[in-house]
Structure 1
Amino acid sequence: MGEIAGGIATAGVAVWLIALSACDIRSRRLPNTLTLPGAAVILVVAAGTGHGLAAVAGAAALFGVYLTVHLIAPAALGAGDVKLALGLGALTGVYGADVWVLAALGASLTTGVLALCRRLRGVRSTVPHGPSMCLAAGLVVGLSATV
């Protein structure tokens, strides 16, 4: 991918991640109009740049993990998080299994730390997981792309 196209793709992913995070923080929902088209675009671009198999593998693996957690404990993880896992799994899968694992673990760790901090302050409401997913994926992909 050329330098200009790469910059446009990076900006597009950043805007997508910010929009998703803002929606989840504001309304505690990750809308299908953002999660599913984003996943589709990432998968199509990955296929077009020769990374389709890695993107599909990453998407399927993260979707499978999130779906399993959602089915076991629906209150712990929403359906929007499961759908977001498709796009973020595809995105991180393109960069390799190590990036995928770091993003997946980073998201859970971030949400856990935020929830613990809220509890320690006496706040009993839950923490939306989507922003942690977006932050972890964005940071890990951003760092791996610059190395």
Structure 2
Amino acid sequence: MPTVLLASVLSALWTVAGVLDAPPSSYVLACFGVVLTAIDLRHHRLPDVLTLPLGVTLLVLEFQRLGAALLGAVILGGAHLAVRTWRPALMGGGDVKLAAGLGTVLALPLLLPAAILSSAVTLAVAALRRTRNVPHGPGLLAATWVLTAL
């Protein structure tokens, strides 16, 4: 059953991206995002074997705007690293690596809205699950996908 659910979610994201004529990065985000979200919600972990290839793939797709992509990675990843350094219990290292990779596809004016939207999604997941211990990766992935697809 979980495989059918994951395939259905991926199909829906893929269809929406196609209708919106979204950039190729949104398709990559959909594929990796569905799997990473499922893993993070279940195990509270974002494995390097998925987050690092995602970041590299997104960087390659943004090669025509390499300077802005690297700056976005440094800013979004750096902000998450600061939170991780300041309050390690609030954020895992996987979230920092994921944020750096996702920052490559976000234009500079979208970095703040991405941070706000990802936090809102994380809070919504916490409210739905009725717990304070929820992963931040799904929020990051959802916010980035929405902002790149639109």
Unaligned runs of 5+ in 2: 1-17
Q: What CA deviation, in whole Å up to 9, does each residue of 1:101-134 have, x standing for no partner? A: 211110012212332454xxxx445011100110
CA contact (8 A) 1:99 1:141 kept: no
1:111 matches 2:122:
yes
SS at match of 2:45: coil
Distance 1:103 1:9, change over 3 A: closer
Distance 1:10 1:126, change over 3 A: same
CA contact (8 A) 2:25 2:61 kept: no
- Tell me which stretches of 4 or more aligned residues in structure 1 moved more than 3 Å: 6-10
1:82 matches 2:96:
yes
1:69 matches 2:83:
yes
Distance 1:22 1:90, change over 3 A: same
| Separation (CA, whole Å) in 2 of partners of 1:69 and 1:126 | 16
Q: Which amino acid aligns with 2:145?
A: G
Question: What is the TM-score with the length of structure 2 in the denominator?
Answer: 0.78
CA contact (8 A) 1:24 1:30 kept: yes
Name the structure 1 match of 2:61. Answer: 45
Specify which of 122, 142, 146 is matched with residue 135 of structure 1. 142
In the TM superposition, residue 12 of structure 1 has moved relative to its aligned partner by: 2.5
Q: What CA deviation, in whole Å up to 9, does each residue of 1:84-103 have, x standing for no partner? A: 011111121xxx22222211
Q: Which amino acid aligns with 2:148?
A: V
Question: What is the TM-score with the length of structure 1 in the denominator?
Answer: 0.79
In the TM superposition, residue 16 of structure 1 has moved relative to its aligned partner by: 0.9
Unaligned runs of 5+ in 1: none
CA contact (8 A) 2:76 2:103 kept: yes
In the TM superposition, residue 67 of structure 1 has moved relative to its aligned partner by: 0.4
Identity %: 36
CA contact (8 A) 2:24 2:61 kept: no
Q: What CA deviation, in whole Å up to 9, does each residue of 1:27-67 have, x standing for no partner? A: 110000011111111112211xx111111010000111000
